[in-house]
């Protein structure tokens, strides 16, 4: 009887211990709550924005003004994205996000002012099938440097008059495809610029408020653009982004995202927009030197050939300020000297912009300074009859 009691007591203790150790949380853990907006690292696109379930988010080029232009049946293919509890993965900043009220009264989440959408043909989390669709849909990335907009150009001339313009800068209604910064602010080129050369900005940046240069470190671009088309140039110590050699600018009178008033200022077409079809900026070839071959006729004269001369004796020659001339001298015993005063000897040699002055055999190079006098001379060091006049003009 005693042994039966001990056995029953032991079983009771074991049962009690088993009940105390039971933790229902170990068999049914609570589900992990994903952030409302996540970052997915894609092998082709890098970091992209997704919803909490991992489905890719997109931008729409016509939304450059920060309002949605995808309505009606458009949202069947491109459902809007909205979250009223914004939680973010590391690497995303809440200040970049916002919300708009759509025409139908519903709300939509925005990133850097771009309304966010999903794509109905992304059947699985992580799929990116909508990028580049119609050249107006782009995967939403956190680090675009530039974006592409599609909108009506509305130019503003020097008098403040606004005119709807087409893509060739004539009056008319047409949606034009063009480049903006990541926040939808229009970027421009200047028709007087040349390849990788800013011909507008003053060295003290006193006119930078009118057409501010676009200063940015290039990170990511929409897939329709080619990374090799971008570069940077130094503008008086500051870095300006370029596209196909065109330096990029903002317009000081574009006060709202999506404004493109600059296409009409001071007249249409002087400050064009940019897109993938724009021709590369023109390359300015440095002018080559104008060459004269100089020999001698005994000790009586120099003979000139080249640049319209053919063994001309002691010709008077017109030179232009800023241009470079080469005199290839082969007159042994008759040093050729460019001088400020006519006469023999080495005195009064004019050496500004001149290299190898006084050579009898060799090349004398003369880049005419902007402050060169209107008249110079060439003369043999030893023979007064070997002389001529250089007339200097602008």
Note whether 340 and 353 are within 8 A (CB).
no
How many residues would you count in the chain? Answer: 394
Helix segments in the chain, DSSP class H: 2-21, 74-77
Find out whether 394 and 368 touch, Cβ atoms under 8 Å.
Answer: no
**Three-class secondary structure assignment of 182-232:** CCCCECECCCCCECCECCCCCCCCCCCCCCCECCCCCCECCCCCCHHHEEE
Measured between alpha carbons, how far is 240 from 248 in angstroms, rounded to an integer? 7
Nearest to 278 by CA among 232, 234, 224: 224
Question: How far is Cα 192 from Cα 198, in angstroms, rounded to an integer?
Answer: 9
Cβ burial 214-236 (10 Å sphere, 16+ → b, else e): bebeeebbbeebeeebbebbebe
3 state DSSP class of 386: coil
Burial 314-336 (b: 16+ CB within 10 A, else e): beebebeeeebbbbbbebeebbb
| Three-state secondary structure call for residue 389 | strand
Cα(129)–Cα(122) distance, integer angstroms:
6
* Residue found under tokens 């994903």: 34
Distance CA 156, CA 152 (A): 13
Q: What pLDDT was estimated at residue 4?
A: 39
The contacts of residue 159 (CB under 8 Å, 6+ apart) are: none
Unique residue bearing structure tokens 């939304």: 63
pLDDT of the chain, 394 residues: tens digit per residue: 444 334 344 444 444 444 444 455 556 666 668 999 999 999 999 999 999 999 999 999 999 999 999 999 999 999 999 999 999 999 999 999 999 999 999 999 999 999 999 999 999 999 999 999 999 999 999 999 999 999 999 999 999 999 999 999 999 999 999 999 999 999 999 999 999 999 999 999 999 999 999 999 999 999 999 999 999 999 999 999 999 999 999 999 999 999 999 999 999 999 999 999 999 999 987 778 899 999 999 999 999 999 999 999 999 999 999 999 999 999 999 999 999 999 999 999 999 999 999 999 999 999 999 999 999 999 999 999 999 999 999 9
- What separation, in Å, do the N-terminal and C-terminal C-alpha atoms of the chain show? 131
Task: Give the SS3 label for residue 117.
Answer: strand
Give the helix/strand (H/E) hosting 387. strand 387-393
**Per CATH, which fold does 290-393 belong to?**
Immunoglobulin-like (2.60.40)
Residue 385 CA to residue 299 CA, distance in Å, equals: 7
pLDDT for the residue 27: 60
- Centroid of chain to Cα 328: 44
Using DSSP, state whether 9 is helix, strand or coil: helix
Q: Domain ranges for the chain, please list them.
A: 37-142, 147-264, 290-393
Nearest to 178 by CA among 278, 73, 40: 278
Which 3 state secondary structure label does DSSP give 312?
strand
**In the structure encoding, which two tokens stand for residue 248, read together?**
């990029």
């Amino acid at each position: 009887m005693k042994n039966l009691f001990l056995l029953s007591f032991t079983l009771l203790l074991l049962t009690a211990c088993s009940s105390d150790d039971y933790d229902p949380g170990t068999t049914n853990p609570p589900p992990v709550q994903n952030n409302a907006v996540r970052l997915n690292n894609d092998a082709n696109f890098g970091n992209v924005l997704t919803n909490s379930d991992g489905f890719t988010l997109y931008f729409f080029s016509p939304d450059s003004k920060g309002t949605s232009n995808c309505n009606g049946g458009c949202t069947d293919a491109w459902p809007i994205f909205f979250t009223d509890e914004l939680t973010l993965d590391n690497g995303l900043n809440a200040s970049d996000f916002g919300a708009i009220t759509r025409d139908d009264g519903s709300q939509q989440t925005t990133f850097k002012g771009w309304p966010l959408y999903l794509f109905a043909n992304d059947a699985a989390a992580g799929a990116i099938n909508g990028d580049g669709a119609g050249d107006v849909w782009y995967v939403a990335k956190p680090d675009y440097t530039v974006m592409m907009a599609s909108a009506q150009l509305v130019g503003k001339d020097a008098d403040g008059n606004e005119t709807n313009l087409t893509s060739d800068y004539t009056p008319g209604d047409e949606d034009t495809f063009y480049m903006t910064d990541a926040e939808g602010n229009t970027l421009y080129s200047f028709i007087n610029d040349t390849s990788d050369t800013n011909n507008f900005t003053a060295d003290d940046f006193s006119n930078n408020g009118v057409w501010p240069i676009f200063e940015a470190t290039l990170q990511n671009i929409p897939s329709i653009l080619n990374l090799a088309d971008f570069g940077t140039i130094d503008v008086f110590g500051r870095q300006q982004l370029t596209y196909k050699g065109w330096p990029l600018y903002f317009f000081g009178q574009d006060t709202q995202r999506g404004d493109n008033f600059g296409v009409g200022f001071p007249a249409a077409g002087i400050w064009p927009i940019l897109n993938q079809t724009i021709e590369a900026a023109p390359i300015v070839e440095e002018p080559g030197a104008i060459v004269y071959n100089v020999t001698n006729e005994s000790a009586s004269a120099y003979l000139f050939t080249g640049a319209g001369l053919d063994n001309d004796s002691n010709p008077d020659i017109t030179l232009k300020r800023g241009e470079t001339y080469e005199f290839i001298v082969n007159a042994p015993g008759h040093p050729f000297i460019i001088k400020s005063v006519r006469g023999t000897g080495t005195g009064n040699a004019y050496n500004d912009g001149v290299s190898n002055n006084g050579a009898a055999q060799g090349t004398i190079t003369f880049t005419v300074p902007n402050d060169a006098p209107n008249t110079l001379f060439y003369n043999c060091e030893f023979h007064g009859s070997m002389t001529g006049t250089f007339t200097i003009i602008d």
